[in-house]
Amino acid sequence: MPTPPLRQTEIVRPWNGWPAGPQKTLRVWRSADSLPQPLPGETFLPFGLGRSLSDVCLNPDGTLLRTPAMDRLLAFDETHGVIRCEAGVTLRQLLEFLTPRGWFLPTTPGTSQVTVGGAIANDVHGKDHHRNGSFGCHVTRLELLRSDGRRIECSPDTQGGLFLATIGGLGLTGLITWAEFRLKRMPSPWLNVESVRFGSLEEWRRVAQEDGAWEYTVAWLDGTRAPFPGLHIRGNFAASAPASYRMRRDAALTVPCDAPGWLLQPWLIGAFNRLKLLGQPAAVKKGRQDFQSFFYPLDQIGNWSRLYGRRGYLQYQFAAPHEHAMGLLQRVLETAIASRQPAYLVVLKTLGSAASAGLLSFPMPGLTAAIDFPNLGKPTLELFGRFDEMVRDAKGRLYPAKDPRMPAAMFRDGYPEWREFSRHVDPAFSSGFWRRVVGNTP
């Protein structure tokens, strides 16, 4: 049967650049649109802005449902801070609407170039997980469009099982057409920020224990040399700052194409890290930052992932319980150095005890580390295989949104509720990730 004209074939790559390949895509224009009949054997997968670093947003041999044209705000309760919007609305669009009105996102990942559907389907977390949990904790209702044409409104009280499966559900339970969620009051667009220098992982742990009064915290460290010095950054919205603020355009600078593979070398990254630490000679630096600089520093450079070259980069992100997390982190970073593949970027966040919203949500009480490596192919994959053993021993798990090679056993051990989840998967929805970790297991 010929492919209907609506479907196009294009090269799709996730944010980290790998794995990229040709994909059939189909644009969904409005939340009220119906889905086309799947062709024999065809599967669908929603696709937001492709800011995932893995094949959770890819469906080779299937069709991606591109959602960013579903971009309407549907309702806003300014008194109670509740918003309803189509699932293709981006966090950036929401910020443009909300922040001049004194409201902010309930929580946010490190980029605003993410759709609401993508934020729910990966149940994303931010610098405030220890206080506010993940994005899904704030969703009150959503609508799912299933491949059989049914529209199902879900909330914790109605269709609760499907709701729990859809939060962090990796796009597999159907197309989220719209969602409603609670917002957070924003007293001003500015944050009071404190940056604390630390000399080692052990010192970082002590600094992070004093986070009590801080709503947003994150640590960056130099993974190229033990004992891993770095900066611990914490912020609170300032109550008394002047309210007037115009959001800057994202991506004032854009990397136009893939840089040559030799550009980013370990010695260059090491030198950059040293300079960054030299830039803060004081043990503690206090200041004020606007919310864009604080939450989304990387959005200021468009396509920065292309600096890694054609093969892109791989991020290894694990979560582990407090009692094992520091030892695990130390072993991972030391193993990377001993293998002559030091980490290029290491970011740490504390995960709080808020119950995760979804059956497959990534956060667990403890610590998460997101560690970037240039993709060198086989040597990097072998290194990640060694990390996997360590994460298992530490009773941790890996983040599907960031891992295009997670072995099936790692997924099943880390997410024991996957069988319960799979009962809610739409029979005509699938992804490269899902087929890899679950295959045809009933």
Ligand X SMILES: Cc1cc2nc3c(=O)[nH]c(=O)nc-3n(C[C@H](O)[C@H](O)[C@H](O)COP(=O)(O)OP(=O)(O)OC[C@H]3O[C@@H](n4cnc5c(N)ncnc54)[C@H](O)[C@@H]3O)c2cc1C
**Residues near ligand X (CB under 6 A):** 15, 45-52, 56-57, 67, 87, 109-111, 114-115, 117-119, 121-122, 124-126, 170-171, 175-176, 298, 401
- Minimum CB distance to ligand X smaller for 109 or for 235: 109
- Minimum CB distance to ligand X smaller for 113 or for 273: 113
Which is it for the CA torsion 258, 264, 269, 271, positive or negative? Answer: negative
Q: Position of tokens 């024991």?
A: 416
Q: At closest approach, how far in Å is the CB of 169 from ligand X?
A: 7
- Minimum CB distance to ligand X smaller for 139 or for 401: 401
Which is it for the CA torsion 418, 423, 424, 426, positive or negative? Answer: positive
Q: Give dist(CA 129, CA 351) in Å, integer.
A: 5
Q: At closest approach, how far in Å is the CB of 285 from ligand X?
A: 23
Element (H, E) at 363: none
| Contacts of 317 by beta carbon, 8 Å cutoff, 6+ apart | 368, 369, 370, 371, 398, 399, 402, 403
- Minimum CB distance to ligand X smaller for 7 or for 274: 7
- Minimum CB distance to ligand X smaller for 176 or for 193: 176
Q: Give dist(CA 263, CA 348) in Å, integer.
A: 26
Q: Give dist(CA 372, CA 224) in Å, integer.
A: 11
Q: How many helices (H) and strands (E) does the chain have?
A: 12, 21
Q: At closest approach, how far in Å is the CB of 67 from ligand X?
A: 5
Q: Give dist(CA 59, CA 250) in Å, integer.
A: 29
Q: At closest approach, how far in Å is the CB of 171 from ligand X?
A: 2
* Pairing status of strand 345-351 against strand 216-221: antiparallel
- Minimum CB distance to ligand X smaller for 297 or for 379: 297
- Minimum CB distance to ligand X smaller for 332 or for 347: 347
Q: At closest approach, how far in Å is the CB of 128 from ligand X?
A: 11
Q: Is the distance from CB of 158 to CB of 377 less than 8 angstroms? A: no
Q: At closest approach, how far in Å is the CB of 315 from ligand X?
A: 9
Element (H, E) at 272: helix 266-278
Q: At closest approach, how far in Å is the CB of 30 from ligand X?
A: 12
Q: Give dist(CA 51, CA 58) in Å, integer.
A: 11
Bridge partners of 180, per DSSP, are 84, 141
